[in-house]
Structure 1
């Protein structure tokens, strides 16, 4: 039985990742380091067969995807449903600034990320629903093929929780580094997580530093 192989990739680093600012729907470009990470990822994927490339419509994901797609002669298909969580009034703020200004809302969100809505933004349940719908639509369209999907730390976490049928409190239980690679094999009756957050292509940069969890 032939499945659909999906390579899940988090975008390269941005200056907001580096400074610990929550990006959400803000369209923050890749930093010079993020572009170098994407170039290293391009070399990793150069000899991997890809039939299609998809990304969030935000530039940090789109540019990462385009860098990887170039040697394959593939266009990037942008999908709004793959966007990062909307952080509303928290966008552009650091963790320290958020807990100082929104201590109650922050704690409620950390304890129950699935149901608590970020002020002016989304809950992780809302993110999971739109990302899961987008993902399944892509898999149906690309059935039996090998595809690359570039998105964001938060949106990919919710997707992995959906694949593994985990409660959304599990989004805090694993890391997804900038340009970390995960692999999912999709079949009609199940999805199998094959690889999670592999970053060996970053070894020449000293490996991942874990900056910017979202």
Structure 2
């Protein structure tokens, strides 16, 4: 049975990742380390025959996607539906700054990420709805193809929860590293997670960056 295979990639590292700042919809570029991570992933995926490359429209994802897409002679198709969760008033802040300024909102969000809306931002349910809708539309449009999708830690976690039919509290139960690779195989409306957060291409850099969902 001919299916559609989607390689899910979290963007490369940014300076905000490195300093622990929540990025959300803020348009932060890759750091030099992030570009190097994307280049290593490009070499890993060089021999995969991709039919199309998709990305969030945010710069850090677009840059990562473009580095990989170049060797395949493909243009990057961007879609704002694949953006990171909107962190609203928390964007640009560290965990410590958020907890100090928004202690009650932070605790509520951590307990119920699906339904609690970040001040000025989104809930994870809203993220899941927009990402899942865009993902299914992409798969239907590209049926039978090999696809690359570059997005973000939060949006990809929400997508993987949708693929697996898991409650959104599960977004805290697995990690997605910068340029970590996951794979979803799609067959006529059925979805199988075939790989989760493989980052062995980063071994020459001393391993992955553990920068959470930022």
TM-score between both structures, scaled by the size of structure 2: 0.99
For residues 61 and 106 of structure 2, the distance between their equivalents in structure 1, rounded to whole angstroms, comes to: 26
For residues 125 and 170 of structure 2, the distance between their equivalents in structure 1, rounded to whole angstroms, comes to: 12
Match of 2:92 in 1: 92
For residues 156 and 8 of structure 1, the distance between their equivalents in structure 2, rounded to whole angstroms, comes to: 8
Contact between 1:181 and 1:198, CA under 8 Å: does it hold in 2? yes
Q: Which runs of 5+ in 2 are unaligned?
A: none
By how many angstroms is 1:152 displaced? 0.1
By how many angstroms is 1:41 displaced? 0.5
1:174-213 correspondence runs (5 A): 174-213=174-213
Contact between 2:176 and 2:212, CA under 8 Å: does it hold in 1? no
For residues 71 and 147 of structure 2, the distance between their equivalents in structure 1, rounded to whole angstroms, comes to: 14
By how many angstroms is 1:190 displaced? 1.0
Deviation string, structure 1 residues 71-120 (Cα, Å, up to 9, x no partner):
10000000010000000000000000000000000000000000000000
CA root-mean-square deviation: 0.6
Q: Which runs of 5+ in 1 are unaligned?
A: none
For residues 143 and 36 of structure 1, the distance between their equivalents in structure 2, rounded to whole angstroms, comes to: 32
The secondary structure found in structure 2 opposite 1:149 is: strand
Match of 1:150 in 2: 150
Contact between 2:175 and 2:212, CA under 8 Å: does it hold in 1? no
TM-score between both structures, scaled by the size of structure 1: 0.99
The alignment of Structure 1 onto Structure 2 pairs a total of residues equal to 214
Contact between 1:4 and 1:139, CA under 8 Å: does it hold in 2? yes
Contact between 1:62 and 1:76, CA under 8 Å: does it hold in 2? yes
By how many angstroms is 1:146 displaced? 0.2
By how many angstroms is 1:9 displaced? 0.1
For residues 141 and 128 of structure 1, the distance between their equivalents in structure 2, rounded to whole angstroms, comes to: 20
Contact between 1:3 and 1:186, CA under 8 Å: does it hold in 2? yes
For residues 79 and 71 of structure 2, the distance between their equivalents in structure 1, rounded to whole angstroms, comes to: 21
